[in-house]
Amino acid sequence: MNHYYNPVRTIQGAGSLHTLPETLEQMHLTNRRVLILAWSETVFAHPVFAKLDAFQLQTSVFTASNPTIEQLFETYQATRSFSPDAVVAIGGGSIMDVGKSLCCLYQTDLSDAEELRTYIQAGRFGTPKVRWIGVPTTSGTGSEVTCWATIWNPSKDAKRSIENQANYAYAALVDPELTANMPLKLAVSSALDATAHAVEAFWAKHTNTVSRALALQAIRTIMGHMEDLLCGKPEAHEAMAQGSMLAGLAFSNTKTTACHSISYPLTMHYHIPHGAAVSMLLAPVLELNAPCVDGLESLLAALGVSDAAMLQQRIRSFLQRSGQPDTLRGWGVAWEDCSSLAKLGMTKGRADNNPVEITAENIQGILESIY
C-alpha cells in the first residue's frame, strides 16, 4: 500500500506572479503583514508589488547560496519583530529554504546562532506559526512544493533539514517569465537537478504510484527540451518550469536517494553547483540501481537513453555545452579526496532511501568513475 499527499495550490504559466495579491487575500491574514524575501532588489521592481498596498510589507534580500545556520539566524533576527502572517519567498532553492525555515522559527525565541543550531539538530519543529508562498525564479529545485528546507552546517560537515508536514506552501506561483534571464550555466544545472529529483523519486524506496507518474512526465518534459534550452529557444523556459514543478511534486513524497546524498559534500567542500554535482552522479548510480528498478524500461525511455553509459554521454554533453566541467577533476577535486568524500556521502534519509545498499566503498567507486 502506498499513499501520496501534497496540499500546495499550484498556479503555473506566464504571468502567474500577477495572481499574488489575490492569493494573499485568499489566505485571510489576521494582521495583513507580509514578509517578501527575495534573491535580489531587482525583484521589487515588478509591477505586482504596486498592487499590494492593502498589506503591510517588509522586504528582505538574501543573496547567499546554500544557506548556513548563521545566515538563517541573521535573517530570523532581522525579521522576527515584524511578526509576519505570511512569507513570500521569491528566488531559487536557497530562498525557499530560508523562507520556509522562518515559518517554523517565528514561534521560537532564539538568542543566537548556536541556539538555532541546537534547535535544528534536535528536530524540535512544531506547527509553523506562519504560512508561505513560493515563487521560483529558477527551474530546478521544486522547493515551492515540498515541506522541508535544507540548511548547511559546514563547520560540522553536515547538511540539516527543517521538516514539518504542516509546512507545505499555501501556494506556488510558477511563472516561467521569471526564469527567462537565467544564465545558461544556471539554467542547465537547474534543469539537471530537477531531472535528478524525478529519477530518484521514481526509484526511491519510498516511491508511490502518483510520484512515479509525475516523475516520468517531469523527465520527458525536461529531457525533451534540453536542446531547446541550449539553443536559447524561449519556449524551453515554459517546459523547464513545468518539469521542475512536476519533479518537485514527485519527490515531495519520496525524498531523494544516493545521487543527492553523495552530492552534498561535493557542493559543501568544492562549491560545485548542486545541479551539476548531482547530475554527474545520475549515470553511475543508475548503473548501480538498474537491477532493482521496477519499470526500468519506462525510465530509460523518458530519459531518451538505452543505458547508463548513454545517459552519462548526454549529461556530459549538456554540461560541456553550457560551459561547465563534466568531471570531478574539472571541478578541482583532488583524487586523494575521493575516499574522505565517500565517507561524507552517507546522508541519513537519502542514502538509506536508495533501492540498492549504499556504502562508503561503492560511493568511492562512483566518485572515481566520474573523476
With b for 16 or more beta-carbon neighbours within 10 A and e for fewer, the 40-73 pattern comes to eeebeebebbeebeebebbebbbebebbbbbbbb
Between β-strands 86-91 and 131-136, what pairing exists: parallel, antiparallel or unpaired? Answer: parallel
Domain boundaries, the chain: 9-177, 184-369
Looking at residue 170, its pLDDT comes to: 98
Residue 347: all three cell numbers together:
546522508
Residue 174: all three cell numbers together:
510558477
Q: Name the band, by pLDDT with cuts 50, 70 and 90, for residue 158.
A: low
CATH architecture observed for domain 9-177: 3-Layer(aba) Sandwich (3.40)
As a whole number of angstroms, the distance between CA 292 and CA 303 comes to 18
> Which tens digits make up the pLDDT trace of 230-250?
999 999 999 999 999 999 999
Alpha carbon of residue 108 to chain centroid: 25
Task: Report the alpha-carbon angle 263-356-214, nearest 5.
Answer: 70
What is the enclosing helix (H) or strand (E) of 34? Answer: strand 33-38
Q: Name the band, by pLDDT with cuts 50, 70 and 90, for residue 156.
A: low
Distances (CA, A) of 121 to 110, 229, 278, 328, 341: 14, 40, 25, 30, 22
| pLDDT(332) > 80 | yes
As a whole number of angstroms, the distance between CA 232 and CA 271 comes to 26
What value does the mean pLDDT of the chain take? 95
CATH top-level class for 184-369?
Answer: mainly alpha
